[in-house]
Amino acid sequence: MGGVAAVYTLVQLVAVLPGTGLGWDESVYVSQVSGQAPAAFFSAPRARGITFLVAPVTGLTSSVVVLRVYLALLSGAGLLVALWVWRRLLPTGTLALAGALFAGLWVSVLYGPQAMPNLWVAYGALIAVGCFLRAARDHGDRAALAGLGAGMLLAALMRPSDALWLALPLVAAASAVRSLRRPVLLLVIAAGGALGAAEWVAEAYVRYGGLLPRLRRASEIQGHLGWHPAFGDHVRALQGLTLCRPCDVPLRYPLAAVWWFALPVLAAYGVRVAVGTRQAAAVALPALAGLSLAAPYLLLIGYAAPRFLLPAYGLLALPTAVCLLRLAAFARPSRVLSAGLVLAVAAHLTVQFLVLDGVTARGRATHAAFGLLVADLRRQGVRPPCVVSGEEAVRIAFRAGCASRQVGGHDGSITRAELAAAARGRPVAVIVRGDAPPPAYAQGWRRHALPGLPGIADLRAYLGPAVGRRPSAGVSQPSP
C-alpha cells in the first residue's frame, strides 16, 4: 500500500505539476485565504473544506508549484491512510490492488494535486466505511469509532451533500443488519457529519437567511436538481473533459469509457465472490456506499464532471480488486488467459495515461494563454487595486491580483451602478467575447483587443476611465 501511495504521488509530480495553473474553481477556493487577490464570490453549493486544507500554504506563499507539491504529498498520504484502515478487513494484496486501480485513473491523478474537494470526499468515504465495519465487528475498537467520525467529518467538510449520500447506506446497514446494529454507530455518523457541515449550515443562516434558502439557491446554480439521468454525459466526459455542461459533444474516443462500463460488472462479481465468506460485509458495503454516492450525479444533475464520481470510484475499487484477483487465480493455469488479463490491464492504464496527457497539455496551454492575457492587461494599466468582470473574470482577476465581480448570473456580486462607480476611482476591466457588445455602463470606455484563450479566439476588454492612472485615495474595495 505504501508503494502504491508513493507511485501515485510521484506520477502527480511528474505528469500534472509542470506548467499548470489554477483552474476556475481552484481560483475561487484559493482566493478565500490567499493574499494574492481579493476573495472571489463564493456561491451557495460550495463548501469551504478545501479552502481550509490549502490555507497553511496559501497563507505563506502564492506559488502554485508549492501548492501543487503540498497537495500531491498530502493526497498520497491520504490514499495510504484511507487504505490502511481496511487492513483488518481485507488482505493487503487486495487493498494494494484497489489502491492501484483507483490511483491509476486519469481523473484521480489529475485532481490529486488540485485544490478541489472530490478526492478528499473519496478518502473520507473510504475511511468512514472501513471504520464503520471495524467498529461493528470489534466493540472495543475505539480508534475505529474515532475514524468513523473523522471520515464523516472530512466528507461533510468538503461536500455536505455527499456526506448525506454516504451516511444513507451506513445508517441503513446499522439499522437492518443485526451484526451491525449498534446505536453508537448511528450517533457517531450523525455527530461527524453534523460537525463537518456546521460551518456550511451557519453560513447558510448568515448569508442566505436559512438552510432551505441556501439549498434552493444551490439547486438553481446546479441546474435545478431533479430527474436528470446523465449517464451519457459522464461517458463523454471521460474523453478528458473536466466539465461537460452542456454535454453536447460527440463521443470521439469510446475506448476511454470501456473501463467505466466494466466497473459495475466487475464490482458486482466481486461482491458475488465474497458472499458467504467472512469478507462479505467488507466487500458489499463499500459497493453499496459507492452506488449511493454516484446516484445524485448520475440521476439528479443534468451535466457531468469526472471528478464528481471519485468517491464512488474509490469505494468500488475494493470489490473490483476482489473480482480481479479471483479472475487472476482462475486464469493462472492458462498462459493465454493470463496474458489476456495482463494485456487488458496494460491497455487500460495506457488509455488512462493518454487521456491524462491530453488534459494536462491543454491545462499548460491554458495557463500560458492566461499569462499572456494578464500581462497585456497589466501593460494597459490594470493593476491592483483593480476589478475584473465579464468573461473568465475569476481566473483573470486572480492572476492579475484584482477582485473579480459579476453584475449578474450565479456569481452576481456587484450592481452595474456600483461597478461603474468603482471604475471612476480604480482600474476596472470588463472582458467580453469579440462579437458581444459592451455593457451599457461601459459605453464610452476604451476598447482593447486581448490575446485569445483556448476555446475563445477573440476577446476584448473595455477599460474604465481610471485605467492607466493612480486610483483615487479613499475609494473602497468592492465588497464580495
Q: What is the pLDDT of residues 302-321, one digit of tens each?
A: 999 999 999 999 999 999 99
Is 344 within a domain? no
Cα dist. 334→144, 328, 338, 339, 342 in Å? 42, 10, 6, 9, 12
Q: In this structure, is residue 113 part of a structural domain? A: yes
Residue with cell 482566493: 31
* 80-103 mean pLDDT: 97
CA distance 105 to 476: 47
Q: What DSSP line would sit under 405-448, residue for residue? A: -BSSSTTB-S-HHHHHHHHTTS-EEEEEETTSPPPGGGTTSEEE
Quick one: which of 397, 399, 395 has its CA closest to 419? 397
Q: Looking at the structure, do residues 49 and 174 belong to the same domain, yes or no? A: yes
Asked whether residue 276 carries a pLDDT value surpassing 50, the answer given is yes
**pLDDT tens digits, residue range 397-426?**
999 999 999 998 888 888 999 999 999 999
- Based on the fold, state whether residues 292 and 438 are members of the same structural domain: no
Mean pLDDT, the chain, rounded, equals 93
Single residue among 288, 306, 331 that ends a domain in this structure:
331
Averaged pLDDT, 261-286: 95
Cα(443)–Cα(228) distance, rounded to whole angstroms?
A: 41
> For residue 349, which amino acid is it?
L
Domain that holds residue 439: 365-463
Let me know if residue 303 belongs to a domain: yes
Q: What is the largest CA-CA distance in the chain?
A: 81
- Looking at the structure, tell me whether residues 198 and 252 fall in a common domain: yes
- Taking only the tens place, the pLDDT of each residue in 248-264 is 899 999 999 999 999 99
Q: Taking a C-beta distance cutoff of 8 angstroms, is the pair 119, 82 a contact?
A: no
DSSP 308: G
Domain presence at residue 312: yes
Give me the residue label for grid cell 490491464. 345
Q: CA 475, CA 477: separation in Å to the nearest integer?
A: 7
**Structural domain includes residue 275:** yes
Domain count, the chain: 2
Residues 143 and 224 in one domain: yes
Nearest-5° Cα angle at 420, 414 to 425? 105
Mean pLDDT along residues 195-209: 96
pLDDT in tens, 16-46: 888 888 999 999 999 999 888 999 999 999 9
Q: pTM to 2 decimals?
A: 0.94
Does pLDDT of 471 surpass 50? Answer: no
Sign of the dihedral through C-alpha 71, 20, 117, 112: negative
Q: What is the pLDDT of residue 469?
A: 62
Residues 100, 182, single domain; the answer is yes
Query: What local confidence, expressed as pLDDT, does residue 480 receive?
Result: 41
User: How do residues 112-151 score in pLDDT, each as one tens digit?
Assistant: 999 999 999 999 999 999 999 999 998 888 999 999 999 9
Confidence class for position 337, pLDDT limits 50, 70, 90: confident
Q: Count the neighbouring beta carbons within 10 Å of the beta carbon of residue 277.
A: 11
| Domain assignment present for 40 | yes
Query: Does residue 184 share a domain with residue 88?
Result: yes
| Coarse DSSP helix, strand, coil percentages of the chain, rounded to the nearest 5 percent | 65, 5, 30
Q: What's the whole-number mean pLDDT along residues 432-455?
A: 89
**Which class for 171: exposed (0-12), middle (13-18), buried (19 or more C-beta within 10 A)?**
middle
How many residues in the chain? 480
Is the domain of 59 the same as that of 103?
A: yes
CA distances (Å), 246 to each of 137, 219, 410, in order? 46, 16, 16
Does 385 lie in the same domain as 317? no
Q: Does 417 share its domain with 311?
A: no
Residue 16 lies in a domain: yes
What pLDDT is recorded for position 476?
A: 38
Residue 457 has pLDDT above 90, yes or no: no
**End residue of a domain, out of 331, 351, 378:** 331
**To 10 degrees, what angle do helices 49-58 and 142-158 make?**
90
